[in-house]
């Protein structure tokens, strides 16, 4: 009989090996977010999706 795995167990197993990134400047944990910015090219506006790491150093620049 196979082992029953819930979604929570799968998520815990997937995230167990990952280390959290720490900012070398302010020594706080960095969080990853997806930012959508507008770009203007050939007289058209289009969204540009970026994955950005945020800490206390650059929080005001990106979110502000």
pLDDT score for 42: 87
User: φ and ψ at 59, to 5 degrees?
Assistant: -65, -45
The model's pLDDT over 2-20, given as tens digits with 9 standing for 90+, comes to 776 788 888 777 777 667 7
pTM of model > 0.85: no
Tokens of 44: 């058209």
The model's pLDDT over 8-63, given as tens digits with 9 standing for 90+, comes to 888 777 777 667 788 999 999 988 899 998 988 888 899 999 888 999 999 899 88
Q: In this model, does residue 1 exceed pLDDT 70?
A: no
Instruction: Render 4-63 in DSSP notation, one character per residue.
Output: P--HHHHHHHHHSSPPPPB-TTT--B-EEEEEEEEEEETTEEEEEEEEEEE-TTTHHHHH
């Amino acid at each position: 009989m196979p082992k029953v795995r819930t979604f929570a167990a799968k998520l815990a197993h997937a995230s167990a090996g990952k280390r959290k990134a720490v900012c070398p400047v302010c020594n706080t944990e960095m969080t990853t977010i997806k930012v959508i910015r507008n770009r203007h090219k050939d007289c058209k506006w289009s969204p540009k999706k970026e994955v950005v790491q945020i800490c206390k150093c650059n929080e005001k620049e990106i979110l502000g």
